[in-house]
Amino acid sequence: MESLILALAKGLVEKPNEVSVDVDDVNEDGERVYHLHVSPEDMGRVIGKNGRIAKAIRMIVRYAARNKRIKGKILVEID
């Protein structure tokens, strides 16, 4: 999942070398949180108008996790 998030984000931003992803361990609710970090100048490109691009990234990651049969909920936060 980490590489998928990186690939999606690096294709959107002006500074792809500043994109990184941190992963939290699975919490007690069975959720795994991926934290996407981009430069402040690229934040708008990753979020999009009304959060449409951020929603699309989250949907793609959830769908990929379902196809890989990863159990639990996957969350993507943009920091």
Indicate the helix (H) or strand (E) that contains 44.
Answer: helix 43-47
Domains of the chain by residue range? 2-78
> Cβ distance 16 to 37 under 8 Å?
no
pLDDT, tens digit, 9 for 90 and up, residues 59-74: 999 999 888 888 788 9
Distances (CA, A) of 46 to 5, 22, 26, 70: 11, 16, 25, 25
Q: Quick one: average pLDDT of 16-25?
A: 94
- Domain made up of 2-78: CATH architecture: 2-Layer Sandwich (3.30)
pTM above 0.85?
yes
Q: Hey, what are 9's tokens?
A: 């984000």
